[in-house]
Amino acid sequence: MITETAKNLGVIGYPIAHSLSPRMQGAAIAASGADCAYIAMPVAPEALAAAVAGLRCLGFAGFNVTIPHKVAILPLLDALDESARAIGAVNTVSLEAGRLRGYNTDGSGFVAALQRRGFAVEGCRALLLGAGGAARAVLWGLAEAGARSLAIGARVAGKARALAASLALRVEVEALDWRDASFVSLLGQADLLINATPLGMSPHVDAMPPVHWEAVRPETFVCDLIYNPAQTRFLRAAKERGCAVMNGEGMLVEQGAAAFEIWTGCKAPAEAMYQALRQGLKALRGAGER
Ligand code: NAP
């Protein structure tokens, strides 16, 4: 039940109508009994500063931040958590003692999803495909969780190198063009292989990053950050190679669960959030979003 002292929460983005966060956070609020309300708020890029000032005035306890505001919001906040500072993007804001503090729970969310699947991150050798915002967050999360080595392959090696150089991580990041011969040898050494590009995302479900699957060991754990479709062509190829696989649902739920914990101080009911996400994805796919 929402009472007169309920915490106001929500998500800002543009567009925002297809965000699955209201379903997931709504399910978390219902399952935990937290006295909170969570809504989707469309905020156009030119209205971001006014919207953040408005949320501050309204005393919102916190909010999620999604595309296209994850970087643009940085100068509008009073403080940044180490995660947001290192990744250079914010997906969660919390009002703490009258100050807006930014966090990034994407990287730790990805690691939490791996741990839920029983994958040991500490000491692993990880290889990422793609050098965009999601790759940044995942690299940070893996480094913080004790990965032994990190490498990125991308279609433009310069972008991969720039990403590696801009992240001050505990582990050095090797950056390569994914057409290089040395990239194939890295494929054979990886314990963890991650697609952090949109290749294969609905509606372009036939696309996939260029991977020489014969070089990948069947023991390699293969992840796709994409969650629509549930099984990309990349994950199907990995399964045919004999690899265990994980799609992007876990990262999406766990980043939300971490945000819920920041706002409420209570353990998030992750199972209820997973169920809500799957129902939401079913509805999206049913509505022709494949
Ligand atoms: P992004 O910042 O746009 O970066 C995408 C990366 O993929 C860039 O390196 C880009 O290379 C590369 N790329 C894009 N199109 C390509 C193509 N046709 N061929 C080769 N490379 C291509 O995107 P992002 O925010 O990092 O997101 C990446 C993926 O992660 C998306 O599918 C997104 O939905 C998913 N994601 C999932 C979660 C989750 O919670 N599960 C969270 C965040 C993101 P260039 O720079 O050369 O274009």
pLDDT per residue over 86-137, tens digit each? 999 999 999 999 999 999 999 999 999 999 999 999 999 999 999 999 999 9
Question: What is the C-alpha separation between 121 and 119, in angstroms, rounded?
Answer: 6
Continuous segment of H or E residues that includes residue 194? strand 192-195
Q: Residues near 139 by Cβ (< 8 Å), separated by ≥ 6?
A: 107, 128, 150, 152, 163, 167, 169, 173
CA 188 to chain centre: 26
Assess whether the C-beta atom of 134 lies below 6 angstroms from ligand 1.
yes
Ligand 1 atom nearest to CA at 109: 40
Ligand 1 atom nearest to CA at 209: 20
Continuous segment of H or E residues that includes residue 40? strand 36-42
Active-site choice (70, 239, 267, 282): 70
The H-assigned helical ranges of 121-269 are: 133-144, 157-166, 181-189, 233-240, 249-264
Q: Is 70 an active-site residue?
A: yes
Ligand 1 centroid from CA 275, angstroms: 25
Classify residue 150 by burial, with Cβ atoms within 10 Å: 0-12, 13-18, 19+. buried
- pLDDT of 193-216, one tens digit each? 999 999 999 999 999 999 999 999
Structure tokens at 250: 């876990």
Assess whether the C-beta atom of 129 lies below 6 angstroms from ligand 1.
no
Assess whether the C-beta atom of 201 lies below 6 angstroms from ligand 1.
yes
Classify residue 4 by burial, with Cβ atoms within 10 Å: 0-12, 13-18, 19+. exposed
Question: What is the C-alpha separation between 102 and 275, in angstroms, rounded?
Answer: 27
Ligand 1 centroid from CA 129, angstroms: 9
Continuous segment of H or E residues that includes residue 48? helix 48-57
Ligand 1 atom nearest to CA at 201: 32
- pLDDT of 124-175, one tens digit each? 999 999 999 999 999 999 999 999 999 999 999 999 999 999 988 889 999 9
* Count of Cβ atoms closer than 10 Å to residue 281 Cβ: 19
Give the pairing of strands 149-154 and 173-177.
parallel
Assess whether the C-beta atom of 67 lies below 6 angstroms from ligand 1.
no
> Quick check: 256 and 273 in contact, CB under 8 A?
yes
Assess whether the C-beta atom of 132 lies below 6 angstroms from ligand 1.
yes
Ligand 1 centroid from CA 130, angstroms: 6
Question: What is the C-alpha separation between 72 and 203, in angstroms, rounded?
Answer: 28
Mean pLDDT value across the chain: 96
Q: What is the residue whose two structure tokens read 């643009």? A: 72
Q: List the Cα angle 6/262/257 in 5-degree steps.
A: 95
Classify residue 290 by burial, with Cβ atoms within 10 Å: 0-12, 13-18, 19+. exposed
Question: What is the C-alpha separation between 120 and 54, in angstroms, rounded?
Answer: 43
Label residue 288 by pLDDT band (50, 70, 90).
low
Ligand 1 centroid from CA 7, angstroms: 33
Question: What is the C-alpha separation between 287 and 20, in angstroms, rounded?
Answer: 14
Q: Whose CA is nearest to atom 23 of ligand 1?
A: 132
Q: Would you state the pLDDT for residue 108?
A: 98
Q: Residues near 40 by Cβ (< 8 Å), separated by ≥ 6?
A: 10, 11, 13, 16, 17, 19, 21, 22
- pLDDT of 22-77, one tens digit each? 999 999 999 999 999 999 999 999 999 999 999 999 999 999 999 999 999 999 99
Label residue 287 by pLDDT band (50, 70, 90).
confident
Tell me the pTM.
Answer: 0.96
